[in-house]
Copies of this chain bind each other. A is one copy, B any other.
Amino acid sequence: MKKYSKQREVILESLKMRRDHPTVDMLYEDLKLQMPNIGIATIYRNVSELCACGQIRKIKCEDGIYRYDGNKENHIHFECNNCHKIFDIELEEEESKKIKKELQNLANTINAEFDKQEIMLSGLCEKCKKQ
């Protein structure tokens, strides 16, 4: 049985507002401003919970530190090899469905039950490309 907690609400709200794919540390630093007593363990616990029930996504990066994403729109990710920021690439509804179907078909080739997908591109972002 899941009990309400102000902390979880605040964490989810923050992740839904932000578009920068924060780490737990980044969330912690930010949330301390509005809730000075919040503990970092609470953030770890709640992002796990929120991932488990599909309200946010966990992003796995080159450096092994997880980022979290509260954006529920159809999109994929791009990680810059230079500045290591994560960028969203938004997908049209049609395109998203097409990709999902293709991946569904691929999962079928190994008789797997397809549930989730994560597409991560990498290279240089617009800014880093110019340097």
- Chain B residues, CB < 8 A from A13: none
Does A120 lie at the interface of the complex (its beta carbon under 8 Å from any beta carbon of B)? Answer: yes
Instruction: Say whether B120 contacts A78, CB under 8 Å.
Output: no
Does A124 lie at the interface of the complex (its beta carbon under 8 Å from any beta carbon of B)? Answer: yes
Within 8 A of B (CB), among A47-96: 58, 60-62, 64, 66, 76, 78, 80-81, 87, 89-91
Does A42 lie at the interface of the complex (its beta carbon under 8 Å from any beta carbon of B)? Answer: no
Does A126 lie at the interface of the complex (its beta carbon under 8 Å from any beta carbon of B)? Answer: yes
- Chain B residues, CB < 8 A from A44: none
Set B81, B89, B117: member contacting A120, Cβ < 8 A? B117
Set B62, B110, B116, B120: member contacting A125, Cβ < 8 A? B110
Instruction: Say whether B91 contacts A107, CB under 8 Å.
Output: no
14 contacts across the A-B interface (CB closer than 8 A): A60-B60, A64-B64, A76-B106, A91-B106, A111-B129, A112-B121, A112-B124, A112-B125, A114-B123, A115-B123, A118-B119, A118-B122, A119-B120, A120-B120
Residues of A within 8 A of B (CB): 58, 60-62, 64, 66, 76, 78, 80-81, 87, 89-91, 99, 102-103, 106-107, 109-126, 129
